[in-house]
Amino acid sequence: METELASRSVTDVLKAVAGEAPTPAAGSSAALVVGFAASLVSKCARKAVGRIEEAHEILERAEVLRGRAEQLAEADAGSYHGVVAANRGEGSLADALSAASDTPLAIAEVGAELADAAAELAGRGKPWLRGDAHTAALLAEAGTRAAVMLVHLNLRDAGIGPRHGDPRGERGRWLAAAAGEARARSGAAVESRSVR
């Protein structure tokens, strides 16, 4: 299985997603979108050093999260292969779908954290980078919501959910809402600021 998405060119990744192979697909795409958000947060945080007291911490965390997003893009492709195998009769489909829910939930965790950091930078960072910060919040929210949708689909198709004691669906809803709230804060901050 050829993956290693992070080491391939953008063109090659886009072609791989568009290709006939079952992966990379939606989950890996959500992780890569979150990775782009992390890169923009890093850029904005780097330029906010001296302006925001915690800019170094935001930068360091964004770099860790970017690396995590890259790992999750790979992990999602790998976990979905279990679903493909189960569809061929190799193992339990419900178990494979349940296992395949963990990676998109982790993607959503990363995305929600980045959306919050982006909102902070949109409100307090360099005014001429507000478009980058708000774009980071938008991308982080989009990646989070896409990943949460995959969690919900997998859990539904596996026949498990909150009534079976599985908390992942509710956690996903909370993460999507948190990312949306952060994106809204980012947008409001951008609208209220003028370039100085």
For the chain, domain boundaries: 23-192
Which pairs from 148-152 meet CB under 8 Å and 24+ separation?
Answer: 148/104, 148/105, 148/108, 148/172, 148/173, 148/175, 148/176, 150/26, 150/27, 150/30, 150/101, 150/104, 151/101, 151/104, 151/105, 151/108
Which two three-digit tokens encode residue 148? 């949460």
For residue 170, give the 3-state DSSP assignment. helix
Q: pLDDT-derived band of residue 196, with 50, 70 and 90 as boundaries?
A: very low
Separation between Cα atoms, residue 103 and residue 143, nearest integer Å: 13
Q: What is the CB-side half-sphere exposure of residue 195 using CA atoms within 13 A?
A: 4
7: pLDDT strictly greater than 90: no
2: pLDDT strictly greater than 50: no
**Phi, psi (degrees; rounded to nearest 5) at 84:** -60, -45
132: pLDDT strictly greater than 70: yes
* Residue showing tokens 């911490």: 57
Tens of pLDDT, residue by residue over 154-179, are 999 999 866 777 899 999 999 999 99
Q: Please give the CATH topology (third level) of the domain spanning 23-192.
A: Four Helix Bundle (Hemerythrin (Met), subunit A) (1.20.120)
- 181 C-beta neighbours (distance < 10 Å), count: 15
Which two three-digit tokens encode residue 161? 């959910």
> Contact, 42 vs 66, CB < 8 A?
yes
Q: What is the CB-side half-sphere exposure of residue 72 using CA atoms within 13 A?
A: 30
pTM score, whole prediction: 0.92
